[in-house]
């Protein structure tokens, strides 16, 4: 049975941290290693972590150099064959998500597995704001503006060890660069689960206003060049425009 390491990074998010922790601990799959990387919270988040410490496999609380540095710490700590990230404002869509992810890994022998994602209201997780329905991957789809939802993106640890962790030079688009690197540059195999795996509360840096959208778009563009891939401004334009139908097709 595959061991799946789920990593939650958090800093000063007491409001939703307990929802996240309880959601992971309620998963039906038995071989889960749950890792929490706290960035030195001082708002009571640590109290929540300590309340569940007997069921959390590993946790640390210390200052970091940003979100991707914290995520890299989690990867270093992970002992599972498969790694996934669930941020402190997010929840899995149902208790069998990890069970299904592990089943697809074993059946397909793929290097990565991903699914669909819903952005939901901060207070009402059943109120869908944006429905991100993905699709099966084929090489070259990134040039059409496609990418998988990163919170649903599970990867074998050996892939991180072979092709590298998150690039901490990025402020917002480190997840995009990593998936572009893994899927387009190194062409790792991927299996798609056509169902909602994660519910993400609306907000966050990548959709937090025009300034962050511009920063993210610039970093997306940089990601292509640093990976020696041919993707120009039109690719980033397609990527941003592809989000519009997701607001119209709410499940």
| pLDDT tens digits, 172-226 | 999 999 999 999 999 999 999 999 999 999 976 545 567 788 888 889 989 999 9
C-alpha distances in Å from residue 17, one per residue of 12, 89, 234: 9, 7, 38
The predicted-structure confidence for 168-182, as pLDDT tens digits, reads as follows: 999 999 999 999 999
Helix/strand/coil for 147: coil
In the chain, where the domains are located: 4-248
CA distances from 47 to 7, 70, 93, 108 (A): 18, 19, 25, 40
Contact of 130 with 247, CB cutoff 8 Å: yes
What are the residues whose beta carbons fall under 8 Å from the beta carbon of 91, sequence distance 6 or more?
Answer: 19, 20, 23, 125, 198, 199
Task: Say if pTM beats, i.e. exceeds, 0.85.
Answer: yes
Reference 73, options 8, 135, 4; nearest CA is: 8
Q: Which CATH architecture has domain 4-248?
A: Alpha-Beta Complex (3.90)
């Amino acid at each position: 049975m595959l061991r799946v390491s789920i990593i939650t990074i958090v800093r000063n998010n007491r409001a939703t941290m307990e929802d996240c922790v309880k959601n992971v601990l309620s998963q039906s799959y038995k071989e889960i290693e749950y890792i929490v990387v706290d960035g030195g919270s001082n708002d009571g988040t640590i109290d929540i972590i300590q309340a569940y410490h007997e069921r959390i496999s590993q946790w640390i609380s210390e200052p970091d150099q940003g979100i991707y540095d914290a995520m890299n710490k989690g990867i270093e700590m992970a002992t599972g064959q498969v790694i996934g990230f669930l941020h402190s404002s997010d929840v899995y869509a149902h208790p069998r998500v990890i069970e299904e992810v592990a089943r697809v890994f074993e059946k397909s022998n793929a290097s990565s597995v991903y699914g669909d994602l819903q952005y939901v209201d901060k207070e009402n997780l059943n109120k869908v704001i944006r429905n991100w329905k993905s699709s099966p991957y084929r090489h070259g789809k990134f040039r059409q503006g496609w990418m998988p939802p990163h919170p649903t993106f599970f990867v074998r640890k050996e892939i991180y060890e072979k092709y590298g962790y998150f690039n901490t030079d990025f402020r917002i688009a480190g997840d995009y660069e990593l998936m572009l690197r893994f899927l387009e540059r190194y062409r790792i195999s991927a299996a798609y689960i056509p169902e909602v795996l994660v519910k993400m509360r609306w907000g966050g840096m990548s959709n937090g206003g025009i300034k962050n959208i511009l920063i993210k778009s610039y970093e997306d563009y940089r990601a292509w060049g640093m990976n020696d891939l041919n993707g120009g401004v039109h690719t980033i334009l397609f990527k941003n425009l592809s989000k519009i139908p997701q607001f119209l097709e709410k499940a």
